[in-house]
Amino acid sequence: MKTVVVGMSGGVDSSVAAYLLKKEGYNVIGLFMRNWDAALNNDIEGNPTFGGEICPQEQDYNDALKVCEQLNIPLHRIDFIKEYWDNVFTYFLNELKLGRTPNPDLMCNKYIKFDLFIKEAIRLGADYIATGHYARMENGKLLRGIDSNKDQTYFLAQVAKEHFKNVLFPVGNLTKPEVRQIALELNLETAKKKDSTGICFIGERNYQKFIQNYLKPNPGNIVDVETNKVIGRHTGLMNYTIGQRRNVGISGNLERHYVCGKDVLNNILYVAFGDDTKYLESDECIIDNINFISDKRPVKCSVKFRYRSEDIEVNLEYISDTEIAVKYPNRAKSVTPGQACVLYLADECLGSGIIKTVKKNGKKLWYL
């Protein structure tokens, strides 16, 4: 009997994944990762942010434990707090300091869930590891999950190719409603539990207050990109994303506006007015931190610049082993340094890079 160690997150997807594997005849072992120290969940004044309630991470562990008891499988627990801080959270903070928009979930998968987790699973005797990601592995290829609304290959695109060797994605061939239905029929503890949202270590809390615990607020001017006039004050460039329309900080101005750029050197937030989104448009970006999961090196493919964005047809120019120029003649909006550019050929996820610079008409967008 083959042993599979399942990453139990305390959610419905990993719960059903564990059930399906046991049903298939595997010797299933659950493993819960603790990646964040709940004692750090304080606001800027040092006050606990959970109102005396059990913190979400501990609740997740309790839910995972109950599911494992229901399925009659063991659950182990391991702390990766230091490793998470060193490899994920520090990266996140450093990117914010540069005025970029990082995606720590990709780095969590790269360094924690599909690296340290695998090593611990092997120590527990695993022949395979499994997670509740909506993705598929077929003949060594990472494929999108059947449910296009839940496909999570975007978040797996920085994981090293060799780490997918003995990985199973039991729910990748199911839709989310089907997963929910299985959990309901089994009366699993997590059957009706809501999906987690937000950044994994922040959760559903005030983002700006949380970040202020680690990055000192650095207010500066908000400038109209067309007139170069100061029109307000921002609370710190790390609190804004390209394309953001709400809570920008321009008091008394009801005209539609959006964040279109950042000047980190001079601590300026640039804003454009009206419905014309020309300042969000680009036709090329340079990506680095290249990670290929596939052996294919196409010159044409599609990409996602954000998890929920539509696929965009692109041409690839391989500048070097470490950089690729991604060109999209039909243009795209809000392509932002620090975010991932994930490459696809039909359903196959080829890998990804991190957006370094953004261009339009051959010129780097100065305000990015």
CA 23 to chain CA mean position, Å = 30
| Amino acid residing at 152 | Q
Mean pLDDT in residue range 10-29:
98
**Pairing, β 220-224 against β 230-234:** antiparallel
Q: What is the DSSP letter of 317?
A: E
pLDDT digits (tens, 9 = 90+) for 103-152: 999 999 999 999 999 999 999 999 999 999 999 999 999 999 999 999 99
| pTM to 2 decimal places | 0.91
At 25-52, the pLDDT tens digits run: 999 999 999 988 766 555 444 444 444 4
pLDDT of res. 276: 86
- Could you tell me how many residues make up the chain? 368
Span 3-186: which CATH code? 3.40.50.620
Which has more pLDDT, 253 or 312?
A: 312
Q: Report the distance separating Cα 202 and Cα 196, nearest Å.
A: 11
- Residue 200 appears among annotated catalytic residues: yes
Give the span between the Cα atoms of 281 and 283, in whole angstroms: 7
User: How do 135-138 and 281-292 pair as beta strands?
Assistant: unpaired
Q: Tell me the sheet residues that pair with 352.
A: 291, 342
Clarify whether 108 is annotated catalytic. Answer: yes
Give the CATH superfamily of 280-364.
Translation factors (2.40.30.10)
In the chain, count of helices (H) and strands (E)? 8, 18
User: CA-CA distance, 202 to 57, in Å (whole number)?
Assistant: 10
**219 phi-psi bin (left φ>0, alpha ψ -120 to 50, beta other):** beta
Structure confidence by residue, pLDDT tens digits, 198-248: 666 555 567 778 888 899 989 999 999 999 999 999 999 999 999 998 888
Using alpha carbons only, give the angle 297, 151, 158 rounded to the nearest 5 degrees. Answer: 45
pLDDT digits 0-9 by tens, 50-108? 444 556 778 899 999 999 999 999 999 999 999 999 999 999 999 999 999 999 999 99
10: number of CA atoms within 13 Å, CB side? 16
What confidence score (pLDDT) does residue 50 get?
A: 45
**Which token pair is 305?**
């610049």
Position with higher pLDDT, 195 vs 124: 124
d(CA 238, CA 264): 10
pLDDT at 55: 67
Nearest-angstrom CA–CA distance, 343 and 139: 18
Listed residue (127, 115, 222) closest to 160, CA to CA: 115
Of the candidates 55, 68, 108, 285, the residue annotated as catalytic is 108
Quick: pLDDT tens for 314-367. 999 999 989 999 999 999 999 999 999 999 999 999 999 999 999 999 998 876
Is 217-273 in CATH node 3.40.640.10? no
Instruction: Categorise residue 362: left if φ over 0, alpha if ψ from -120 to 50, beta otherwise.
Output: left
Confidence at residue 40, expressed as pLDDT on a 0 to 100 scale: 58
SS (H, E, C) 30-87: EEEEECCCHHHCECCCCCECCCCCCCHHHHHHHHHHHHHHHHCCCEEEEECHHHHHHH
Compute the CA torsion angle 125, 128, 129, 133 (nearest 10 deg).
-170
Domain extents in the chain: 3-186, 217-273, 280-364
- At residue 51, the pLDDT reads 46
Q: Identify the bridge partners of residue 340 per DSSP, sorted by sequence position.
A: 354
The predicted structure's pLDDT at residue 198: 61
Per-residue pLDDT, 213: 87
Answer yes or no: are the C-beta atoms of 189 and 63 closer than 8 Å: yes
Checking if the pLDDT of 255 tops 70, the result is: yes
In the predicted structure, residue 298 carries a pLDDT above the cut 70: yes
Q: With bands split at pLDDT 50, 70 and 90, how would you rate the model's confidence at 253?
A: low
Residue 242 in tokens:
């390209």
Q: CA distances (Å), 293 to each of 6, 77, 84, 168, in order? A: 22, 29, 23, 16
Catalytic residue, from 55, 68, 200, 301: name it. Answer: 200
129 Cβ contact partners less than 8 Å away, ≥ 6 residues apart:
4, 5, 6, 7, 117, 118, 121, 166, 167, 168
Surface-to-core class of residue 336, CB atoms within 10 Å of its CB (0-12 exposed, 13-18 middle, 19+ buried) = buried
Token readout for 129 is 């590891």
Over the chain, what is the mean pLDDT? 91
Token match 């997807």: residue?
13
Are 233 and 249 contacting, i.e. CB atoms less than 8 angstroms apart?
yes
